[in-house]
Amino acid sequence: MRGTGIIKGALAAMLLWAGGAGAQETTLDTATPAQVYALHAQPLLLAASEQVAAPEQAVAPVQPAQPSFEPPLVSGSNIHLVLGLSTIAAAAATAATAPEGCEHNCPNPPPPRETNGTHAKLAKTTIALAAATIASGLVTHWDDFALADGLTDPDNLHVLFGITGAALMAYAVNKSANSTSQVSHAGIAELGALGMLVGIKMTW
């Protein structure tokens, strides 16, 4: 009985000690419900506002799709190109319609030269197209030609070959048109047409 009383006393002492320690750790909460709500709700509101604001900052303004650039069909550059190619085509047609010269059993005196036939008209057309090609090139591509870039620059070579070729063809046509007899001019004209063709190829 005495041992049981000792055990009961020890248990009672332990309970009192545990209760006293718990009472010391627990403080009396005198905050009102509104203060408790404000204290606990503020971090939640801040976190919520950050989550809402973050997507707005992350989303970039939507830019409208830019349409792809398509150069106009009719432009100074295209006109210059078409005129250049037309000059080469006219030069080829002129060479194809050249009359055959007399090599054997030629009449004496020779018949008068035909100066208004198909060959002559095509030759004059070729020179007119060559002049128009040069004029359109000067108007459209004036800024592309610069001696500071050197003679090996493709734009400079384009200009030199084009002008030289046109000048050779004009010289050949003029030489033939102002002669009363057969003159050799085909080689010069063909060399001029080849020069213009090389000039076109330099930048195309």
pLDDT (tens place) for every residue of the chain, 204 residues total: 555 566 666 666 666 655 554 545 455 566 666 666 666 555 555 444 544 444 555 566 677 777 776 777 788 889 999 999 999 999 999 999 988 766 556 666 666 667 788 999 999 999 999 999 999 999 998 888 888 888 889 899 999 999 999 999 999 999 888 877 777 888 999 999 999 999 999 887
Tokens of 125: 């057309």
Torsion (CA) 59, 62, 68, 72 in degrees, nearest 10: -150
Q: Is 175 exposed, middle or buried (0-12, 13-18, 19+ CB in 10 A)?
A: middle
Q: What amino acid occupies position 129? A: L
Question: What is this structure's pTM?
Answer: 0.61
Confidence at residue 53, expressed as pLDDT on a 0 to 100 scale: 47
